[in-house]
A and B are shown apart, each in its own frame.
Chain A
Amino acid sequence: MIHRHDVIIIGAGLAGSRAAVEIGKVADVAVLSKVYPSRSHSGAAQGGVAASLGNISVTDRWEFHMFDTVKGSDYLGDQDAIELMVREAPETVIEMEHWGCPFSRTEEGKIAQRKFGGHTLEFGREAALRACYSADFTGHVLLHTLHEQCLKHNVNFYSEFQVLSLIFRDGRAIGVVAWDMVHGGLHTFYGRAVMFGTGGYGRAFKITSNAHANTGDGLALVSRIGLPIQDMEFVQFHPTGLYKSGILVTEGARGEGGHLKNSEGRRFMEDYAPTLMELAPRDMVARAMQQEIDEGRGIDGEDKIHLDVSHLGEQRLMERLPQITELAMNFAGVDPRVEPIPIQPTAHYSMGGIPANENTRVTMDANRTEAVGLYAAGECSCISVHGANRLGTNSLLEALLFGRRAGKQIVEDVHDLEFPNLPPDYEDAARGEIEFIRNNRGGEKVGTLRGELQDSMMIDCGVFRTKEQLQKQKEKVAELADRFRHIQIDDNGDQFNTDLLEAIELGHLLDFSGAIVEGALLREESRGGHYRKDFPKRDDDKFLRHTLAWKRNGDWELTFEKEVVLKGVSHPGFEPKERKY
């Protein structure tokens, strides 16, 4: 079936939904999502969304937020886009409040704000209360508020439609082909503009805080039609994932005074960051933990560390960290009031993505040449405001704010964009993929291949990386991609066939994991979320540059030609310095 709408948005998280609200007021927009919109992963965010409202830290200003973001990015963030983001953050958050988003409140009834790692006043002098929050379910209330605004504006939703391919010809986006998950069957959607808001790629790793749906589909789709993807090697590992499941234990647990202990019962952070201890930045704590584990001081000799909050007392735990107590009991089976919580680093945030500029137009090369009618925002994009490492609470902001910018830009552009013609072979790629997976009889199982990919990515392309490991992992990904040609699924039906869709998602994971590994291999330096044991220093001469990766004839080709923007729009910019806390 063929559907025609002015604008096609893929993804109903904060980025996609925010754009849809903007466009829905004036044009005919369709939003496709493989989960019902309010079940998108944005809803899992707990901590908050950053904006220098100054409701509590009254002297807060966008310049401070800009500095923190640039420094946090280890100077790989593009400072023009960062400046726009931090300047527009307050109005973006206020607008959500006007639409009814329930934020926690200060005594005077203003939006409440709390501390979060890396956010400071006066360029690092003291911690800023900048994260606007709603109890411990900030992402959930933002997502529901936006979805409800979409309902108000009669946005067309195609829920449980999984997009399989992007139709793109001669630098121009035309539409997408999707599979109707409920009844089966291919549907083609075409329009004047196409936007991606498909979220992150944490599911490439065994231990992750991400939802099952976060399989980075947008990245695979874009690279399959010959466009590059950017900075894929930068993955943020959060130090406190629950052991084995990777479910996130918020930074607040350390903020409230939780201790990290190794098998000797010692607070090992004193060896790594004697002043900040457990409150050192995420990447540093994650590396310290991994080093303890690698050197045999994990709990019971396994890949785990203890997070001890029992000394905080029952009352404080129940008041300040209710969700942690519930999570630890439900998912690790431990009672944090009396026993330590077993944790390990967990793949949490994907800094890399589809390259786009500050107007969310997708760019196709190192010169930032724009594609026509193609936009990206949120975690699937790399605009790049997070550079090599994202600060907590900046990603809800990014998704909302660039979703909003995308919406406004598309509204502006849509009149100049003609309806494109569907090329004759518009459906071929998607149909071919479905038929291949359904009819193949090779005996390889999705669960097995995916498990091997996730295990090996975690071990050999995880918190620490070396040339040997990465070369080994490159071969492993190639081997798995080869075995994928022999994939076989059990379910041949049309109706709610998630066996088929998981196989397609596995194909995506295998595709872009190659780009993560190659980027990590060629980037012979350590910066932000990417740490090479054999190159432990940052190397600005060679690598203060974005990585672009193209898939050509089955192989990844990478360049480091794309320059980082070191100046703001109006701000002179912050010179790269050593990132110390």
Chain B
Amino acid sequence: MADTSQRSFRIFRFNPETDDKPYYQTYEIEVESWWTVLDALNEIKWFVDGTLSYRRSCRHGICGSCAMMINGLNDLACEKQIKLIRRNPITIDPLPGFEIHKDLAVDMDPFYKALKRVKPWLINNDPPPSRERIQSPEQFHLIGDGIACILCAACTSSCPSYWSDEEYLGPAALLKAYRYSFDSRDQGLGDRIDALDNRHGLWRCHKITNCFHACPKNLNPTEAISRLQRRVIEEKT
């Protein structure tokens, strides 16, 4: 027999087309013991209220679509097991710091634009060899955190520095800048420095470490930012 329980979900609702202001709507549903928060949202959308909007795709924590705030903390809905959440109702809000498209779907354009400002691609002007460039396992591990990022924006959206400065690159973009600038094959720090070395860049970070706590992949953008700061200082001296 399916092992089920009754849970309530108190969900942020806002449709800029029709609503003057946001409100919460509570849904009581029966959940199966193996469900994640995303399964519950799907149940609500498919069988209770089709007007609820949110993003999702892979439903196993790799595409980064479903980041949202669950009981006050940014997380991936598809990775959050309901049975591990004690509090009832479970309150769900959109990622803070972004405009709302509708309900839990926010406008991520500023986030992607910040990413592009750091030139997130390998910069190396030497002609490539006929085979792969050589990189040691240690050099590969050095950029490990940066390459595992799924761009869910949980970090940037949790950052008070980002809330107060919408021009700030934010931890995700800086982690990306780290990932390329510390790649043994890259020569592009000079090209990225304009974007990094200013008050909307590396120096806006105050080491609050919310990003580190918010990251569903357990990555550490704060540490990457510190290393990148040191590197930029070295580059200039």
Contact assessment for B34 and A100 in the assembled complex, using a CB-CB cutoff below 8 Å: no
Q: Which of A441-479 contact B (CB under 8 A)?
A: 445-448, 450-451
* Least CB distance, B13 to chain A, in whole angstroms: 12
* Residues of the B chain whose Cβ atoms lie less than 8 Å from the Cβ of A244: 32, 34
What B residues does A29 contact at CB under 8 A?
Answer: none
With the chains together, A98 CA to B121 CA distance in Å? 11
Given A38-B64, A495-B102, A211 and B46 contact (CB-CB distance below 8 Å): no
**Cα distance A491–B147 when bound, in Å?**
38
Let me know if A330 and B36 touch, CB within 8 A.
Answer: yes
Contact A499 B45 (CB under 8 A): yes
A152: B residues at CB distance < 8 A: 119, 121
B57 touches A213 (CB 8 A): yes
Per-residue CB contact flags for chain A residues 198-239 toward chain B (1 = under 8 Å, else 0) read 000000000000011100000000000000000000000000
Q: Is the CB of A330 within 8 A of B63?
A: no
Residue pair B121, A151 in contact (C-beta under 8 Å): yes
| The one of B101, B115, B133 that contacts A97, using a Cβ cutoff of 8 Å | B133
Does B53 lie at the interface of the complex (its beta carbon under 8 Å from any beta carbon of A)? yes
Verify A495–B45 contact, CB threshold 8 A: no
CA A140 – CA B148 in complex, angstroms? 8
Closest Cβ–Cβ distance, residue B166 to chain A (whole Å): 19
Bound CA–CA A137/B134 (angstroms): 20
Question: Which residues does chain B contribute within 8 Å of A39, judged by CB atoms?
Answer: 57-58, 63-65
User: Contacts A137-B148, A151-B116, A497-B53 known; A43 to B17 CB distance under 8 Å?
Assistant: no
Do the beta carbons of A104 and B137 come within 8 Å of each other? Answer: yes
Interface string of A480-502 (1 = CB under 8 A from B): 00000000011101111111000
- The docked-state distance in angstroms from the alpha carbon of A144 to that of B64 is 12
- Does B60 touch A at the CB level, under 8 Å? yes
On whether the beta carbons of A100 and B49 are closer than 8 Å, the reply is no
The answer on a CB contact under 8 Å between B58 and A41 is: yes
Interface residues of B in 65-105 (CB under 8 A from A): 65, 79, 81, 83, 101-103, 105
Query: In the complex the two chains form, is B132's CB within 8 Å of A97's CB?
Result: yes
Q: In this assembly, does A332 line the interface, its C-beta being within 8 Å of a C-beta of chain B?
A: yes
User: Does B33 sit within 8 A of A, measured CB to CB?
Assistant: yes
Residue contact B121 to A105, C-beta cutoff 8 Å = no
A152 to B116, CA, bound (A): 9
Pair B34/A490 contact, Cβ less than 8 Å: no
- A103–B122 alpha-carbon span in the complex (Å): 14
**B81 near A333 (CB under 8 angstroms)?**
yes
Within 8 A of B (CB), among A499-517: 499
A566 interface contact, C-beta 8 A: no
Bound-state CA distance A109–B131 (Å) is 12
Q: Which of A94, A141, A495 contacts B15 (CB 8 A)?
A: A495
Interface of B (DSSP majority class): loop
- Is A57 among interface residues, defined by CB-CB distance under 8 A? no
Interface contact A99-B121, CB-CB below 8 Å: yes
**A109 & B58 in contact (Cβ 8 Å cutoff):** no
Rounded to whole Å, the gap between the CB of A176 and the closest CB of chain B is: 21
The CA of A44 and the CA of B135, in the complex, are separated in Å by 25
List, in ascending order, chain A residues with CB within 8 A of B107's CB: 182
Q: B57 to A100, Cβ gap below 8 A?
A: no
Instruction: Establish whether residues B132 and A107, one from each chain, have CB atoms under 8 Å apart when the complex forms.
Output: no
B10 within 8 A of A: no
Q: Which residues of B contact A499 (CB under 8 A)?
A: 45, 50-51
The reply on A102 being an interface residue by CB < 8 A is yes
Q: A105-B137, A137-B62, A495-B15 are in contact. Are A490 and B101 (CB under 8 A)?
A: no
Question: Is A111 at the interface (CB under 8 A from chain B)?
Answer: yes
Asked if B186 contacts A35 (CB within 8 A), the reply is no
User: Does any Cβ of B come within 8 Å of A327's Cβ?
Assistant: yes
Rounded to whole angstroms, the CA-CA distance of A149 and B34 in the bound complex is 39
Q: Digit string of B20-51 for contact with A (CB within 8 Å is 1, else 0)?
A: 00000000000011101000000001110111
How many Å lie between the Cα of A499 and that of B44 in the bound state? Answer: 12
Given contacts A151-B120, A211-B57, contact A489 B50 (CB under 8 A): yes
Shortest distance between the CB of B113 and any CB in chain A (Å): 11
In the complex, what distance in Å separates the CA atom of A287 from the CA atom of B120? 45
A468→B22 CA distance, assembly (Å): 53
Taking CB atoms and an 8 Å cut-off, the chain A residues in 17-51 that contact chain B are 35-36, 38-41, 43-44
In the assembled complex, A409 has its CB within 8 A of some CB on chain B: no
Say whether B140 faces chain A, with CB atoms less than 8 Å apart.
yes
B50 touches A43 (CB 8 A): no
Which single member of A103, A247, A495 contacts B101 (CB below 8 Å)?
Answer: A495
Provide the bound-state CA to CA distance between A211 and B38, in Å: 13
5 pairs from A and B in contact (CB 8 Å cutoff): A35-B57, A41-B63, A105-B137, A151-B120, A496-B105
- A interface residues, Cβ below 8 angstroms from B: 35-36, 38-41, 43-44, 94, 97-100, 102-111, 134-135, 137, 140-141, 144, 148-149, 151-152, 182, 211-213, 244-245, 247-248, 327, 330-333, 445-448, 450-451, 489-491, 493-499
Can you name 5 extra interface pairs (CB under 8 A) apart from A43-B62, A102-B143, A102-B183? A134-B147, A141-B147, A152-B119, A493-B18, A496-B105
Q: Which 5 A-B pairs have the closest CB atoms?
A: A100-B122, A447-B46, A490-B50, A109-B134, A496-B102
